[in-house]
Amino acid sequence: MTDVTHVKDTRGRRLRDLRISVTDRCNLRCNYCMPADVFGPDYPFLPRKEILDHEEIARIARVFASLGVTKLRLTGGEPLLRRDLDQLITMLRGIPGIEDIALTTNGLLLPAFARKLKDAGLDRVTVSLDSLDDAVFGRMNGKGVGTAPVLKGIDSAIQAGLTPLKLNMVVKRGENDTEIEAMARRWRGTGIIVRFIEFMDVGTKNGWRMDDVVPAREIVQRINARWPLESADPNYQGEVASRWRYKDGQGEIGVISSVTNTFCGDCTRARLSARGELYTCLFAAKGHDIKTPLRAGATDYELQTLVENVWKRRDDRYSEIRNESTVGLPKAEMSYLGG
């Protein structure tokens, strides 16, 4: 499967990025993703036999690479909870055509694994940090965990060379919006890029309301008022975050505006759940089962045809059609899809 077929969907969007959820479990309970009152001790997480093993994930990733995917992102739940993740990364690193392997994490386990993951072939990490205030952060992550272990994780990732390092801050009005400027100040001039993310109606459990959304425009205006910003061109077509550079040369920030300034037109992202389903949108309710045909002995060509046909029929644009009536629609949980 060395020849690459660049497949496009019904809107001419290429398949370029594959986000791979390697587990649906997490060691935090962020209220915008995995509220603790829902994802409690009795929550029916995926049984082990339901989850793709490393060889299966690598085989599926190879199929996606043959259809034009060049960038892989490992997600969860919390991907660092997956045992022997370095071995999976080594397999993925060996796939022809894969140029970039990134990972999104809450950072708590980075001190233990950063070096090992880098040596295995991981390029860079994105760390979630929703506040610099221990009380606010502890409340938002649902476990009362302070910022210190995450900051330690960030340091270990930088020492290991997992850069450029990005930080994700989900901004919720009335919870952490007072900290936008503090977060910008803390990371200005460090080379670390903070991405401010509009609170999204992902899944069906996070109690999303439009009133809790701080529009990207307001976030940029508030930071610009303190440190003048200028808009910067995307690094590549389909980049999720819009870039804003500090005029004084102290780096840049990103804003992810799925609610108020949608970007579906350029969306080149597919998602593979830990259970082996292909999701064509973060807000989709259902995925397309790849694991069953794979375990039933399908050839690489048959798997490639399956994925190609799914993508060719893709017409997702949830963020463009979002309104009061869509918010309550069934959707897969973000912790299941990996964001």
- Binds ligand SF4 by CB under 6 A, chosen from 9, 179, 252, 316: 316
Q: Is 323 helix (H, G, I), strand (E, B) or coil?
A: coil
Q: What is the DSSP letter of 14?
A: B
Helices assigned H by DSSP within the chain:
54-65, 85-93, 110-120, 134-140, 148-160, 180-187, 216-226, 291-295, 300-312, 318-321, 324-327, 334-337
- Token pair recorded at residue 67: 């259809």
- Interface region with ligand SF4, contact rule CB under 6 A, candidates 66-74, 129-137, 165-173, 280-288: 280-288
In 3-state terms, the chain is what percent helix, strand and coil (to 5)? 35, 20, 50
Q: Is 167 in the site for ligand SF4 (CB under 6 A)?
A: no
| For ligand SF4, the closer CB: 216 or 223 | 216
- Binds ligand SF4 by CB under 6 A, chosen from 257, 273, 319, 335: 319
- Smallest separation, CB 281 to ligand SF4 (Å): 3
| For ligand SF4, the closer CB: 36 or 264 | 264
- Binds ligand SF4 by CB under 6 A, chosen from 103, 241, 267, 337: 267
| For ligand SF4, the closer CB: 128 or 319 | 319
- Smallest separation, CB 258 to ligand SF4 (Å): 6
Q: Is 294 in the site for ligand SF4 (CB under 6 A)?
A: no
| For ligand SF4, the closer CB: 137 or 318 | 318
Distance of alpha carbon 143 from alpha carbon 131, whole angstroms: 14
Q: Is 140 in the site for ligand SF4 (CB under 6 A)?
A: no
Q: Is 283 in the site for ligand SF4 (CB under 6 A)?
A: yes
Distance of alpha carbon 318 from alpha carbon 78, whole angstroms: 25
- Smallest separation, CB 151 to ligand SF4 (Å): 30
Q: Is 208 in the site for ligand SF4 (CB under 6 A)?
A: no
Distance of alpha carbon 204 from alpha carbon 326, whole angstroms: 11
| For ligand SF4, the closer CB: 227 or 263 | 263
- Smallest separation, CB 262 to ligand SF4 (Å): 6
**DSSP secondary structure, 180-235, as one string:** HHHHHHHHTTSSPEEEEEE----TTTS---GGGB--HHHHHHHHHHHS-EEEE--S
In the numeric block, the tokens 């022997």 are attached to: 84
- Smallest separation, CB 197 to ligand SF4 (Å): 12
For the segment 26-85, give every residue that binds ligand SF4 (CB under 6 A). none
Distance of alpha carbon 65 from alpha carbon 121, whole angstroms: 17
The continuous run of DSSP H or E covering 104 comes out as strand 100-105
Cα separation values, 307 from 75, 216, 227, 290, Å: 20, 34, 45, 8
| For ligand SF4, the closer CB: 120 or 282 | 282
Q: Is 317 in the site for ligand SF4 (CB under 6 A)?
A: yes
Q: Is 202 in the site for ligand SF4 (CB under 6 A)?
A: no
| For ligand SF4, the closer CB: 95 or 282 | 282
For the segment 111-130, give every residue that binds ligand SF4 (CB under 6 A). none
Q: Is 263 in the site for ligand SF4 (CB under 6 A)?
A: yes
Q: Is 281 in the site for ligand SF4 (CB under 6 A)?
A: yes
* Among the listed residues 196, 27, 195, the one whose alpha carbon sits nearest the alpha carbon of residue 110: 27
Q: Are 90 and 61 in contact (CB under 8 A)?
A: no
Question: Which positions touch ligand SF4 (CB under 6 A)?
Answer: 258, 263-264, 267, 269, 281-283, 316-319
